[in-house]
């Protein structure tokens, strides 16, 4: 059987003007992951990433560390199917309907870095509305369309894969959630309960045989835990 390693990007710049930039911790997480993978002697036959900067840079820093330890690494292929859903667009589209129930929501979301717990609570409510499909908005990628996009990317991988390939996919938490939905048929709401637990640079492994898929592991973060540095365990 072959394996697809779903790797969430390193910590991005939450609260900054441009979220799509790895923080110093995010770079460190990627380097630690690369060292861990080379220590395990996991060789990747292919490496894919979405085209978001945080995904691409996580892949680059991880592979640089692997190659620094003497291992040959593949080039990074880009497939936008593995991009994260547009969280800002989801918030902009669905927040107005939530304001009658949450009048402080706009201020909280604008200052998320200073109100992390409340930001997460409100974001989870908005995502719940998006996933339900009961609040459609013009021009907004629906949850169903997002899953279909991810499924198309996954199908492209499987069509091109050799039977024992090890394939790395550097992506985002929402994309991994969509993969869980596709592979395990877990309800979307339950999948997002798992989403909130996905650690930056964690590994989820999917085994495949032709088009048959099985989730072998989820959200492994041992490469970070072994360092006994709690600041490296991040979720955004």
For the chain, domains (ranges, CATH) are 2-82+165-232 (3.40.50.1240), 87-132 (no CATH)
203 beta partners = 7, 220
Number of other CB atoms surrounding residue 190 within 10 Å: 13
Q: What is the pLDDT of residue 15?
A: 63
Q: What is the pLDDT of residue 159?
A: 96
Say if CB 220 and CB 203 are below 8 A apart: yes
Q: What is the pLDDT of residue 214?
A: 96
Q: What is the pLDDT of residue 39?
A: 93
User: What is the model's pTM?
Assistant: 0.93
Measured CA to CA in angstroms, residue 128 lies from 14, 89, 191 at distances of 21, 15, 11
Q: What is the pLDDT of residue 109?
A: 83
Number of other CB atoms surrounding residue 121 within 10 Å: 13
Report residues of the chain scoring pLDDT below 50: none
Say if CB 105 and CB 95 are below 8 A apart: yes
On average, the pLDDT of the chain sits at 93
């Amino acid at each position: 059987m072959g394996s697809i390693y779903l790797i969430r990007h390193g910590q991005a710049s939450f609260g900054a003007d441009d979220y799509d930039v790895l923080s110093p911790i995010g770079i460190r997480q990627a380097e630690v992951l690369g060292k861990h993978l080379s220590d395990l002697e996991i060789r990747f036959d292919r490496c894919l990433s979405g085209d978001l900067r945080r995904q691409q840079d996580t892949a680059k820093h991880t592979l640089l560390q692997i190659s620094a330890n003497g291992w040959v690494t593949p080039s990074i292929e880009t497939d936008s199917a593995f991009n994260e859903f547009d969280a800002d667009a989801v918030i902009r589209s669905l927040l107005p309907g939530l304001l009658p129930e949450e009048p402080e929501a706009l201020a909280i979301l604008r200052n998320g870095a200073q109100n992390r717990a409340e930001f997460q609570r409100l974001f989870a409510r908005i995502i719940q509305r998006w996933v339900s499909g009961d609040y459609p908005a013009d021009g907004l990628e629906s949850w169903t369309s997002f899953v279909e996009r991810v499924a198309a990317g996954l199908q492209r991988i499987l069509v091109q894969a050799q039977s024992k390939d090890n394939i790395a996919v550097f992506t985002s938490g929402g994309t991994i959630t969509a993969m869980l939905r596709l592979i395990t048929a877990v309800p979307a709401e339950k999948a997002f309960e798992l989403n909130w637990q996905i650690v930056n640079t964690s590994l989820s492994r999917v085994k495949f045989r032709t088009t048959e898929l099985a989730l072998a592991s989820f959200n492994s973060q041992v490469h970070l835990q072994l360092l006994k540095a709690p600041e490296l365990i991040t979720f955004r």
